[in-house]
Amino acid sequence: MAVSGDEVKLLGTWASPYAIRVKIALGLKGVSYEYLEQQLRENKSELLLKSNPVYKKVPVLIHKDQPICESAIIVQYIDEVWAGVGPAILPSDPYERAIARFWAVYIDDKWFSATIKIIKVKDEKEKAEAIEQSFAGLSLLEEAYKKNFKGKPFFGGDNIGYLDIAFGSFLGWVKAIEKISDIKLIDEAKFPLLAKWAVHFCSVATAKEHIPKTDKVVEYYSKVLKALWNA
């Protein structure tokens, strides 16, 4: 049985794909929670500074007054604490679980760090290199999906799982980057499996609810991030 929001709080920002991961995981498990939107550039809340004194970043899940930080760790925590409630998020098979974790780390450390540079850097050569690196990463993910996940609608099989959440949390930003840069990243012609997967993922209720609208992300980039990155 899912717990009440009195026991669970989430510190996040609406645009953070890492906070979106946690929202999706909580939604899959049917866990109600109190959401506390945070200011990250200045005026960070005392609760955030107290809950994550090392990185001072979101997301932070507070469960029974105990903080858990870092999105990948939080999602695993949610799956373990509410095991048996809703679908399992991590694969039960140790090898499949290791593979999902491997690709999740790759997405964070390699693929998205390159992809965000498409709109973050000003130099055209650097931008072209970022696009090339993003496409290379998507090629690897397309191949991994084809090889390891055997035609299922999700990386997690018939239902969304850990790797789906790790990758899918970026889809709002992917669509915004595509619009800002006038390019197509998850192109159906180049990456047919990933394109179908993205449609399936965005149709899941908890993902559809929390992935931000493209125009809202583009506006946030134009009004806030662009000036910050170019400062």
Tens of pLDDT along the chain (231 residues) come to 455 556 999 999 999 999 999 999 999 999 999 999 998 777 899 999 999 999 999 999 999 999 999 999 999 999 999 998 999 999 999 999 999 999 999 999 999 999 999 999 999 999 999 999 999 999 999 999 999 887 899 999 999 999 999 999 999 999 999 999 999 999 999 999 999 999 999 999 999 999 999 999 999 999 989 887 875
Q: Report in angstroms the alpha-carbon separations of 146 from 7, 31, 92, 153, 193.
A: 40, 32, 20, 11, 7
C-beta of residue 100 within 8 angstroms of C-beta of residue 92: no
pTM: 0.95
Dihedral angle over CA of 154, 63, 37, 185, nearest 10: -20
Q: Report in angstroms the alpha-carbon separations of 171 from 36, 102, 168, 181.
A: 23, 19, 5, 15
Q: 8-81: what fold? A: Glutaredoxin (3.40.30)
Q: Name, in order, each residue with C-beta under 8 angstroms of 111's C-beta and a sequence gap of 6 or more.
A: 133, 134, 137, 138, 141
Would you kindly state where each structural domain of the chain is located, as residue ranges?
A: 8-81, 94-229
The rounded distance, in Å, linking the Cα atoms of 111 and 115 is 6
Q: 94-229: what fold? A: Glutathione S-transferase Yfyf (Class Pi); Chain A, domain 2 (1.20.1050)
The rounded distance, in Å, linking the Cα atoms of 103 and 161 is 13
Question: Could you check whether 8-81 and 94-229 share the same CATH topology?
Answer: no
